A and B are shown apart, each in its own frame.
Chain A
């Protein structure tokens, strides 16, 4: 500054042509700070955008899922007349063979034709019958078998409404208005039913206790859940010991040579191979060469094992590496063999980290769909699988199958199944996080 005072004339002429560095800086400072602010807000915006995506995704699926958790039932006055049932006595045998379809139809027609003067036309009858689930017939059958004293009397039975009717009632249309595959006449009947307080919304237990079905109002996730449990059982049983053993060898025993290098590069590359390629491997080798059954949790578990093995090995190696060398040296110094050091000192120390890694690997396997499509776990399966060689499907594949179904009610079912899957994953991940934080405190 003193310099500029002394040569003020020089400085003045200078300022017209070029500014000193300090002045340049202070002049540009405002602009630079603005830029800084802009940059920072773009960053914040990106983070908030990420949050927004999470919230929109979860919110959208939850809002779509909620209707699936309750279901509308209707109370019918069922008349178990012997000539409709086409049986004369109520022995166990005859009850099983009786004609419940006729009972259901005639009882329903009776309910709707008595007050009105005109008879139901053939078309009306068909439309009327469509209001009820195909399962209604079996509900009234079970009812009579449970209490045969209703034979030849009239009694009230709660049955499920059809999925179209269920969706229609959930969408909140004005009373008696046609819409969503519901004709005006059908809507009028529904109004009549609800004014008589015959319609009730109940919690949908069958979503958790039933297996897959073509009828949305009957479909549940039990079969898929069981398939998931079996597949994960196989995956964990194979991938955990193999992964830990592989990691132990690479960290504790492997000599530093070419072969070890190749194994290491291999494991890292396998972790980046698309999951669908493992499905191709499963189809070509496990099913076509070794001849294991298609669609079985056993094959699914093996494929998912191969897929998650790199994850588990990498995580286990990190955990083993974190065990302080002093522990190894102390044990070796006391005369333990290398194997004894590894299994009685290193492994227990590394276990929490290894388990965390395994849990993360299993969580990854739990949500995997693509390789399982390749090995045929995509079939429509009604029976709940009981062993690892039964045909089965898993929860993510069930979601995929339902998402493809044209029936409107499956939309809610799919979202609800997603919600179940996400909650499972949440539980698993929280467990892993808790374990990890416990481990870190030590």
Chain B
């Protein structure tokens, strides 16, 4: 039985045990007329039985599936001839891959036939190994099916034998549900932990071959390591300063557009606009926030960049076809609704008394906004801007499509620059061996990105929290 079929069987068993639990509890009570004798409702007995049937078996199935491949291949390797076992880990991996594809493409009979047809001993060995692999998988599938079904049925039988009139089915099922709820909310922690551990682990591997100081302060970025050590650029260089500078430049351009426009939109919509304009404008601007970033990337690369290039050339400026300006402006467009909605929240959180006092003293609306509301809402606005910066730094698709690949260390917005996220994508797409410094560099960059955005986020929350204390 394969996993998906087994899963379906398990699901129907669980449903069946719900009904079975109800039946058994009624039997304990002595028929449905006496169900009031039970401490708990029959349906609670059913629920408990179903959970006891499904949950342990499902966990077993998941664990079995995740270790199955590793164990089976270990067993296979131990049966292989000593010459194969002596291979280096990379060659052994290739050999196993070969056998895997043989075992999955042909049936056992076809394999046996081809083995008998070939005369080469090594080839025969491969076919033999493929046959062994198929056998091992068959055995493990049987083992899995048996194990899962025994656990499911066995736990139900044990549980049902304990049913009495005073059996606390509700309390037991509720504590199981509670444990499930706790587990679900702990996934957030596990995710963070997973991110930190995986990225950190790969980064440490990377820093073993490239010293952290070179990575943090080096100004040369050319991760293309050559195939042989004696070739030009054989070592590659991993100075990430040009990437940080490029990220900063594009983020700065984006903020230059998004902050003033977003802030003015927030002020106008919260202080001046009629209710009708507001109800129209807000969803309209939310459209900007809802458009996928890949669409912005396409727009930046194929519409904005050529326009900027044409304008620049009409002034006699040389503009790179993948200029930082195009990527930055489009990124700014994406962030406008983010800045405007967060600043609007900050402005409307200012106590109305302040605003009314200012207007009552004869200040015009603009004076109230500039001299009272904005200073009062400043921490909130700063928090919004910090969050927007963190978002701009982590934005990937716009820069992948519209910014360049070459790591130039420049502050000229008309030049092409590259960013941290662009390099992560370029280093990790395509076929890579997993432990070359080139691949690991992507994780080191990911670590920097994670730390930076996390830091900005915490800083933003702190600033906002400080502001709240002023008025509460």
**A residues lining the B interface (CB < 8 Å):** 25, 32-33, 35-36, 38-40, 42-47, 49-51, 53-54, 57-58, 60-61, 64, 241-243, 245-250, 253-254, 262-263, 266-270, 272-278, 280-281, 283-285, 288, 290-291, 306, 309-310, 313, 337-339, 363, 366-370, 373-374, 376, 378, 396-397, 399-400, 403-404, 411, 414-415, 418, 421-422, 425, 429, 433
Q: Mark B331-367, 1 if CB is under 8 A from A, else 0.
A: 0010011001000000000000000000000101111
Tell me if B194 and A285 are in contact (CB < 8 A).
yes
Tell me if A32 and B367 are in contact (CB < 8 A).
yes
Question: Is B395 interfacial (CB 8 A cutoff)?
Answer: yes
Question: Is B85 interfacial (CB 8 A cutoff)?
Answer: no
Complex CA–CA separation, A270 to B188 (angstroms):
8
Tell me if B333 and A53 are in contact (CB < 8 A).
yes
Chain A residue with Cβ nearest B292: A367
Q: Quick one: which of B181, B299, B391 contacts A245, CB cutoff 8 A?
A: B181
Smallest CB separation, B14 vs chain A (Å): 15
Tell me if A242 and B366 are in contact (CB < 8 A).
no
Tell me if B449 and A309 are in contact (CB < 8 A).
no
Known contacts A36-B365, A396-B292; A369/B397 CB under 8 A: yes
Most central of A242, A247, A280, A291 by chain B CB within 10 Å:
A280
Question: Is B294 interfacial (CB 8 A cutoff)?
Answer: yes
- Chain A residues, CB < 8 A from B184: 241-243, 245-246, 249
Complex CA–CA separation, A418 to B398 (angstroms):
14
Smallest CB separation, A279 vs chain B (Å): 8
Q: Quick one: which of A46, A58, A369 contacts B293, CB cutoff 8 A?
A: A369
Tell me if A274 and B453 are in contact (CB < 8 A).
yes
Q: Quick one: which of A33, A47, A273, A288 contacts B434, CB cutoff 8 A?
A: A288
Complex CA–CA separation, A210 to B333 (angstroms):
34
Complex CA–CA separation, A109 to B272 (angstroms):
72
Smallest CB separation, B207 vs chain A (Å): 16
Chain A residue with Cβ nearest B170: A337
Question: Is B187 interfacial (CB 8 A cutoff)?
Answer: yes
Tell me if B449 and A274 are in contact (CB < 8 A).
yes
Tell me if B268 and A414 are in contact (CB < 8 A).
no
Q: Quick one: which of A32, A245, A272, A278 contacts B180, CB cutoff 8 A?
A: A245
- Chain B residues, CB < 8 A from A373: 425, 428-429
- Chain A residues, CB < 8 A from B192: 266, 269-270
Most central of B202, B292, B297 by chain A CB within 10 Å:
B292
Smallest CB separation, A10 vs chain B (Å): 27
Q: Mark B61-96, 1 if CB is under 8 A from A, else 0.
A: 000001001100000000000000000000000000
- Chain B residues, CB < 8 A from A267: 188
Tell me if A35 and B364 are in contact (CB < 8 A).
yes
Q: Quick one: which of B178, B366, B449 contacts A339, CB cutoff 8 A?
A: B178
Complex CA–CA separation, A42 to B266 (angstroms):
12
- Chain B residues, CB < 8 A from A262: 189
Smallest CB separation, A293 vs chain B (Å): 11
Smallest CB separation, A136 vs chain B (Å): 30
- Chain A residues, CB < 8 A from B271: 43
Complex CA–CA separation, A425 to B288 (angstroms):
12
Question: Is B421 interfacial (CB 8 A cutoff)?
Answer: yes
Q: Quick one: which of B174, B295, B366 contacts A399, CB cutoff 8 A?
A: B295
**Which DSSP category, helix, strand, loop or mixed, fits chain B's interface?**
helix
Complex CA–CA separation, A327 to B456 (angstroms):
40
Smallest CB separation, B442 vs chain A (Å): 7
- Chain A residues, CB < 8 A from B401: 400, 403-404
Tell me if B457 and A272 are in contact (CB < 8 A).
yes
Tell me if B454 and A269 are in contact (CB < 8 A).
yes
Complex CA–CA separation, A288 to B70 (angstroms):
12
Complex CA–CA separation, A275 to B428 (angstroms):
15
Question: Is B110 interfacial (CB 8 A cutoff)?
Answer: no
Tally B residues with Cβ within 8 Å of A: 90
Tell me if B290 and A246 are in contact (CB < 8 A).
no
Q: Which candidate, B17-25, B279-287, B312-320, is the interface stretch facing chain A? A: B279-287
Question: Is B387 interfacial (CB 8 A cutoff)?
Answer: yes
- Chain A residues, CB < 8 A from B261: 46, 49-50
Known contacts A44-B268, A275-B396, A288-B434; A263/B287 CB under 8 A: no
Question: Is B411 interfacial (CB 8 A cutoff)?
Answer: no
21 sample A-B contacts, Cβ–Cβ < 8 Å, listed by A number: A32-B364, A33-B364, A35-B366, A40-B268, A45-B264, A46-B260, A50-B281, A51-B281, A60-B303, A64-B302, A246-B184, A254-B185, A272-B387, A274-B449, A276-B446, A283-B428, A284-B198, A288-B434, A291-B66, A369-B294, A422-B295
Question: Is B254 interfacial (CB 8 A cutoff)?
Answer: no
Complex CA–CA separation, A39 to B269 (angstroms):
13
- Chain B residues, CB < 8 A from A263: 185-186, 188-189
Question: Is B7 interfacial (CB 8 A cutoff)?
Answer: no
Near A by CB (< 8 A), chain B positions 366-409 give 366-367, 369-370, 387, 390-391, 393-397, 400-401
- Chain A residues, CB < 8 A from B148: none
Smallest CB separation, B324 vs chain A (Å): 19
Most central of B277, B298, B446 by chain A CB within 10 Å:
B298
- Chain B residues, CB < 8 A from A433: 283
Q: Quick one: which of B188, B273, B297, B443 contacts A284, CB cutoff 8 A?
A: B443
- Chain B residues, CB < 8 A from A49: 261
Tell me if B181 and A253 are in contact (CB < 8 A).
yes
Complex CA–CA separation, A361 to B189 (angstroms):
19
Chain B residue with Cβ nearest A283: B428
Smallest CB separation, A288 vs chain B (Å): 7
Smallest CB separation, A160 vs chain B (Å): 25
Q: A47-B281, A269-B457, A273-B454 are in contact. List 11 more A-B contacts (CB 8 A).
A: A46-B265, A50-B261, A242-B187, A246-B181, A250-B185, A267-B188, A272-B390, A272-B454, A403-B301, A414-B298, A418-B298
By Cβ-Cβ distance, the 10 closest A-B pairs, closest first, are: A274-B394, A367-B292, A43-B268, A46-B264, A245-B184, A39-B366, A284-B198, A370-B396, A249-B181, A246-B185
Tell me if B294 and A285 are in contact (CB < 8 A).
no
- Chain A residues, CB < 8 A from B174: 337-339
Q: Mark B188-204, 1 if CB is under 8 A from A, else 0.
A: 11011011001101100
Question: Is B424 interfacial (CB 8 A cutoff)?
Answer: yes
Complex CA–CA separation, A438 to B400 (angstroms):
40
Q: Quick one: which of A53, A268, A277, A414 contacts B449, CB cutoff 8 A?
A: A277
Smallest CB separation, A194 vs chain B (Å): 30
Known contacts A280-B446, A281-B195, A369-B293; A253/B265 CB under 8 A: no
Tell me if A50 and B284 are in contact (CB < 8 A).
yes
Tell me if A400 and B294 are in contact (CB < 8 A).
yes
Q: Quick one: which of B264, B283, B397, B458 contacts A43, CB cutoff 8 A?
A: B264
- Chain A residues, CB < 8 A from B186: 263
Tell me if A285 and B273 are in contact (CB < 8 A).
no
Tell me if B188 and A246 are in contact (CB < 8 A).
yes
Tell me if B182 and A249 are in contact (CB < 8 A).
yes
Complex CA–CA separation, A278 to B446 (angstroms):
10
Tell me if A276 and B449 are in contact (CB < 8 A).
yes
Known contacts A32-B367, A274-B421; A53/B288 CB under 8 A: yes
Complex CA–CA separation, A425 to B289 (angstroms):
12
- Chain A residues, CB < 8 A from B281: 47, 50-51
Complex CA–CA separation, A352 to B390 (angstroms):
32
Question: Is B108 interfacial (CB 8 A cutoff)?
Answer: no
Q: Quick one: which of A35, A51, A280, A425 contacts B290, CB cutoff 8 A?
A: A425
Chain B residue with Cβ nearest A39: B366
Smallest CB separation, A56 vs chain B (Å): 8
Chain B residue with Cβ nearest A250: B185
Question: Is B177 interfacial (CB 8 A cutoff)?
Answer: yes
Tell me if A50 and B188 are in contact (CB < 8 A).
no
Question: Is B5 interfacial (CB 8 A cutoff)?
Answer: no
Most central of B269, B396, B453 by chain A CB within 10 Å:
B396
